[in-house]
Amino acid sequence: MTNSQAPSYENAEALRKSKSYPEALEQFTQIWQQNPGPFIGWRYAFCLRKVGQLEDAERVARQALEKYPEDKFTKSELGWILYEKELKPAKEENDLGRVVHFANQILALNFDRIALAKVVLAVMKVAKGRKNWRVLLEWANRLTSENLDNQPMIFGGRRGMSDRETWYVGRARALLELERFDEARQFAQTGLAEFPDEIFLRRTVALALARSGDMVGGIAEMRALLTHRRADWYMKAELAELEYQASNFVEAYRLICDAVSNPRQSEEYKLKYFVTLAQIALALGKLDVAAEHISLAKAIRSSKGWKVPSELVKAEKDVLAALQASN
């Protein structure tokens, strides 16, 4: 180590700020051993985190917090360490219980705006994947739009949703799935005022209207949505479901057949809509078509080792009853 790099707080901090983390770590290690002050501990842990030594980073941060339990910077750093070490892996494993556990720990340590946004959005993402709409809404309610950046993410040169847009979409969807239809529609419309091209908010607006009782209005809005450049096959299937519920069976059948024939995704992603197709076909007296799609849905589930949902069981009973009656 040269004289200009002699271990001192000034040198170590200059290296840390210039993102020379391995060099800064070398100096902070010696300084912490010689003079473990409150300004050193969290910086030492920070450098350990940045070079990927998360176990050591947590150990140092906890040692520093024992010495200086009220130091907000040490608390904040321990929160970021737990985010990297515990919450991110739990998020990747789609483990909602662990994500919520560590999210609460992190926010007890670090409640700044950036940490709050990252932690809440992480919980929302996993809760959505697990279809736990209650947890998603509970955590979404910890934020307001002002807590979140409205600049779009860029992934490989392509535009993605901003954090604020993601929050609007997730919270609106949770309200819809929890059957709080008026709130879902109103909140999605608030999001659309800021993100007018957001197709998922428009979808929530349409479905909430239909499910709240205005089937004609909901169908009209859902049909208009299909002209959007990002409209996907399942949105056409959802429109088919609404037409079926409105007893417009011929149009429902046309839509659902067109939707499930879309080649963009494989058949395993269309299992729910094979049941819908069977129900619509049954309403039109197309018993062979209905039976064929019930059998297809069951066969795919069996090959994947997936359970048979109650909707499929009921649809199969209805089709078998109709076949027996026709004979």
Give me the residue spans of the domains in the chain.
Answer: 232-327
Q: Whole-angstrom Cα distance, residue 195 to residue 212?
A: 24
Q: Whole-angstrom Cα distance, residue 37 to residue 25?
A: 16
Binned at pLDDT 50, 70 and 90, residue 152 comes out as confident
Dihedral sign from CA coordinates of 67, 70, 71, 74? positive
Residue 3 confidence (pLDDT) above 60: no
pLDDT in tens, 168-204: 999 999 999 999 999 999 999 999 999 999 999 999 9
Mean pLDDT of 312-317: 96
Domain 232-327 has CATH 3.50.50.60: no
Has this prediction a pTM greater than 0.75?
yes
Q: What is the pLDDT of residue 160?
A: 85
How far is CA 162 from each of CA 148, 150, 235, 272, rounded to the nearest angstrom?
8, 5, 23, 30
- Give the E-state strand segments of 108-173 in sequence order: 154-155, 158-159
Q: What is the pLDDT of residue 2?
A: 45
